Amino acid sequence: MKDNIEVTIKDNNNWFIELLKIAVVPISIVIYSQYFTNRQNENEINLKYIEIATSILKDKPTESNKELRTWAVNVINKYSPPKIKLNKNVQQSLINKIPLNDKEILIYNLTGEYTFKWLGNPEKGYEIDVQVYDDNKWINYSGQSVVGNQTKMIIPTNKKIRWKVSEYGKKKTNKWFYINPIIYNKTLEDE
């Protein structure tokens, strides 16, 4: 009887590749986990700084808190995403003129959805005209016919806006309502 003997020849490089597979995956997971944990901790710290800065900006601007308000504006700009940095006019207004309060929101170089409300019978139709101040002139931005006494629109938030509303089919009013480009109320109401 003959015994069958099997001989296997192993490639000497395979052990090294297998060792790399076993070692690289766990090491990569540890490195990436540490990276994302550090980023999350950094983002939480940045958020705390922004909360401190906004609380400082809620006080009325005075000469004695000007440096502190400047620091707060710089913090907000430093930790804000690039697309929503405060422009120079907004920065100066926050430092020197405008207290930030909970009913108002800062305007960055974006557009936003706003609710326009006016007095009037909510069962009637109305025409609303919105204009934007650009290049030293008022330009028609949007017009809508609506039933009811409110509507929502996407409007630029970094420019002066004015709007007027007239009952449908009646003489158009010349009474414009103006929206400041630096700070908006979340709901823009007719006086």
pLDDT tens readout for residues 1-23: 556 665 455 556 677 777 777 87
Mean pLDDT, range 41-63, rounded to an integer: 85
Q: Specify the DSSP class assigned to residue 63.
A: S
Angle between the 14-57 and 66-79 helix axes, to the nearest 10 degrees? 150
Instruction: Kindly report which listed range (4-8, 45-49, 143-147, 183-187) carries the lowest average pLDDT score.
Output: 183-187
Q: Is 90 exceeded by the pLDDT of residue 148?
A: no
pLDDT attached to residue 83: 59
The top-scoring range by mean pLDDT among 13-27, 34-48, 52-66, 72-86 is: 52-66
Mean pLDDT, range 83-105, rounded to an integer: 70
Of 146, 94, 139, the closest CA to residue 116 belongs to 146
Q: What are the domain boundaries of the chain?
A: 10-102, 111-189
Instruction: Give backbone dihedrals phi and psi of 22, rounded to 5 degrees, phi first.
Output: -70, -35
**What is the spatial order of strands in the sheet that 137-147 belongs to?**
137-147, 125-134, 161-167, 177-179
Query: How, if at all, do strands 125-134 and 177-179 pair?
Result: unpaired
- Percentage of the chain beyond pLDDT 90 is 7
Side-chain half-sphere exposure of 127, counting CA atoms within 13 A: 11
Q: Is 60 exceeded by the pLDDT of residue 142?
A: yes
Cα(91)–Cα(70) distance, rounded to whole angstroms?
8
Q: From the CB of residue 115, how many other CB atoms can be counted at a distance below 10 Å?
A: 13
Banded model confidence at residue 82, pLDDT cuts 50, 70, 90: low
Banded model confidence at residue 110, pLDDT cuts 50, 70, 90: very low
| pTM exceeds 0.85 | no
Q: What token pair was written down for 109? A: 């170089």
Question: Under CATH, which architecture does the 111-189 domain have?
Answer: Sandwich (2.60)
